[in-house]
Structure 1
Amino acid sequence: AAPAGIATATEQSQLHTANENIHLISGNHTDITAGQSLTAHAAESLNLFAQSSGIKVQANQGKVEVQAQNDELQLNALKDATLTNSAGKVTIAAKEEILITCKGAYIKLANGEVEIGSPKVVRVRAPLVVSGVNSLNIPLPEFPLTVCEECLKRAAENGSPFATLNSLQGG
């Protein structure tokens, strides 16, 4: 115990390992700073939780990428949800179907068709032009790699932040 604080410093590297758990706990703030990059790996799951003031993910330069490589992606909100773009376009693409729905009304895009349904009136508030058949195909992302779990465990046991990637079989 050191009431005034503890500092450790080195010009090379530091490694903290434990066969079971490592806990970082502070009464006020915990700050993590990296001069180049910060990487977090977990063999099972990664959780971020903020009790009262929200979570922000920001990139001053470069894109922000979120992927669910082998399962579904859910974005949920109790209150309003907003998707905006200040200087470009918003593209929504799906291999099977896109469904927009609210209180029984819907717009469904599937099998190259557009279906509009409503329990009440459908209003079109614009000049209407109907022309011939056309289509637009957007390339969808592929997820060709998966992490070798045995390699991830071996890397963790050796204190290495790197694990081997394997090609997905059949898909």
Structure 2
Amino acid sequence: MKQTQNQDKLNVRKIISLLTLLFVWQFQAQETNKLKIKSIDYGAIGIYTNLDKNGARGYCSNIELVSNYQRSLYSVNYTLGFGITEKDNKIHDLQGFMSVDALYGRIIKVSRTIVFEPYLGLGYIIQSNTADAGGKSAIGFPIRAKFLFQASKKFAIGLNPNATVNNVHTIYSANVILRFGFLN
């Protein structure tokens, strides 16, 4: 059991290292049209569920580093959630999840101040609760969207609905996001 937890931590470190290496490689590989850090998106307030009758539900938060190349977006997202499961309308377990995702998206300008950004990607998710020893990990396929109101050149606020499809429990979440931009 302890060995499984250590293996999960090692796998997460490998994935984070690989994603970091890919971003650094992308920054240096482009010569004329460089891939640049566009923004940091912070999912300050969020909720999640797995939509089961007595399933997981709780609060989540995420942070995402977004870069762009022309109209394409590339991002690395880290999400952390914690909450409860219910049984017979009573609290049954404390539980949580953690995911790391690499995403590809597009910028769709709806108006001068409204932007829609759909994303698809590949990730790694760990889900655990107090009734199970250890956690269950899986490869996830995140589907995300961002609806943003551009308040200024360097700040936007919006909604971020998400689904992470995997073979343990599909997680559905929504966050209020704050975007802190770096590019004009």
Q: Which TM-score applies when normalising by structure 2? A: 0.20
Structure having greater relative contact order (Cα 8 Å, sep ≥ 6): 2
Q: Structure 1 or 2: larger helix share?
A: 2
Q: Which TM-score applies when normalising by structure 1? A: 0.21
